[in-house]
Structure 1
Amino acid sequence: MTTSITKTTSLRRNRPGTKLEDAYQFEHIPLEQFDSAFALQEYLQSLIRKDKENLDLLVELPPGQDEETWQYEHLRQLCLELNYLVVQLETECNRETCPEMKADEWMYLCAAHQTSMNCCAIDYIVHTLDGATTLLNSHRYFPSRISIPDTSLKHYQPISRRLYRIFAHAWFHHREIFESFENENMLYGRFLKLSDRYGLVAKNLLIIPNNYNNEDTDNNNVNDASLKIQEKT
């Protein structure tokens, strides 16, 4: 049995020269068969490739795993995949089209600086992803991917709130890109399911309508006079 498992896991690598369309074509296997220091990450990525639309399964805690570590791997994966959304946003989101980071009646100040300041939307988004990725990879706060220190759990909610703002800006100001990306990746749906399961973002901060596909809201109709400003939280 051990030999069989070792043979299976040893093949879970893309060979040099593999075409993009042929990459990651691995058979999904149980978590306990992953022979890797990053087993939980690889298992999550395998689940996503297998059935990205099964959101309940994707956020369900695997048997015998630590809840905080599972959330950690999800947040890391969200940051990875949000970079693909940023690439698409850059085709129309810039200093001229979106000089401020807005979503609905909210304007967000960037916390990536010594003093929070107003950044254009695309800079805010890049700063947010860079900051979240740096924090999640910090050995000071997350020295192990097997066990998360209790003192580091406080970072989950702020990271999640800021990641949510990326989705919110895309929905209110770049609707076509948002919907095209979501139809292909189901990333926002996964984020919402994760947040709901583990209480990562307060309900009153979720400003994208639940039935957004049927909304007729003008994605550029933001009332500057009634903007609510959020800074570092």
Structure 2
Amino acid sequence: MSIPFLRLPAAPSSSSSRSSTPTPPEPAAVGRLRKGAQLSSAYIELSDPFAPVRPFQEFEETDSPSAVQDYVAALVRRDPHDVEEVIQIPLGRDDDGEEYPLVDEGVWVYEQLRRLTIDQHPWIASLLPLCPPLSCPTMTTSPLWAFVCAAHADPQPDPPCSAIDYIIHTSEGAQALLTSARYFPSRLGVDERGRRLLNAVARRLYRSFAHAYYHHHDLFVALESETSLVRRFGALNRRFALVEEEMLVIPELEELGLDKEGEDGEREEDDDSGGIRAVERTERNSGEPTTP
């Protein structure tokens, strides 16, 4: 006696399988990947390389909680080298024709730093073979600046984190912090404590770029020419004052391959080598999360 519910479904005939062709997926409306999508059809902004990114209002119309995230991602995909456009808060106009920001400033900085953390992954992967603990045993940028890893409570491990470990811990800690519902419970606004945490994340991410500039300069030039990530960070910092001026040790990059001798060398002589360690310990004792 046969048992119906154990029967396998009949296979489609060869003629029907040959005649049916899968329909390619439409371009994602808000930059979300769909199963089976090709790169050429995954994002609307890539279908025409000369077309501008869709207005932010179209991202808002999807009622997605990640509208700002999707908009920033679209700007980066469109042209990562147009850093001023990437970091510009989208504007709207009221009935009187006056411009006003469509996104809260804190939320905009938050999403920009989230994107920077993601886009820094190729930098970290490229540094791995060139920055082993034996050649870079401590995290330094310019010769007089050394850093301790905030991922570890005092006392620090002995030996301390190498440069590559510091960079990896910083990236992991930034991602954990920026996706924490405890510290960033809403995508509609960022409170004062959240802004302080964003400044701390920016400060620590910058050190990774600075280490690459001073100790792996050729790789820095190659990566920056492909991504303009440091230029984007610089534009974001000029607009929103995330990092203190005295901590900016990378010269302004008017052209790639800029010699690291000169004005920045004079600034290094005036720096206090213990300043960063004091800042790190202050952050640990302030009641804020001790992520790197």
TM-score (norm 1): 0.86
Unaligned runs of 5+ in 1: 1-6, 218-222
Whether 1:26 aligns to 2:70 is: no
CA-CA distance at 1:188 after TM superposition: 0.4
Give the equivalent residue in structure 2 for 1:16: 35
Superposition map of 1:38-117 within 5 A: 38-63=66-91, 64-104=102-142, 105-115=144-154, 117=156
Change (3 A) 1:107 1:168: same
Unaligned runs of 5+ in 2: 1-25, 46-52, 92-101, 262-267, 284-292
2 CA distance for matches of 1:152 and 1:216? 34
Superposition map of 1:143-222 within 5 A: 143-211=185-253, 213-215=257-259, 217=261
Contact in 1 for aligned 2:210/2:250 (Cα 8 Å): yes
Contact in 1 for aligned 2:107/2:190 (Cα 8 Å): yes
Change (3 A) 1:216 1:13: closer
Query: 1:210 corresponds to which letter in structure 2?
Result: E
Contact in 2 for aligned 1:103/1:172 (Cα 8 Å): yes
Contact in 1 for aligned 2:203/2:242 (Cα 8 Å): yes
Contact in 2 for aligned 1:109/1:116 (Cα 8 Å): no
Change (3 A) 1:10 1:24: closer
Give the equivalent residue in structure 2 for 1:121: 163
Q: Which has the larger radius of gyration?
A: 2
TM-score (norm 2): 0.69
Contact in 2 for aligned 1:141/1:149 (Cα 8 Å): no
Q: Secondary structure at the match of 1:170?
A: helix
Contact in 1 for aligned 2:146/2:273 (Cα 8 Å): yes
Across the aligned residues of Structure 1 and Structure 2, the Cα RMSD in angstroms comes to 2.3
CA-CA distance at 1:10 after TM superposition: 3.8
Same amino acid, percent of matched pairs: 34
Change (3 A) 1:47 1:111: same
CA-CA distance at 1:56 after TM superposition: 1.5
Q: More deviation in 147-156 or 166-175? A: 147-156
Runs in 1 of length 4+ with deviation above 2 angstroms? 7-19, 21-28, 211-214
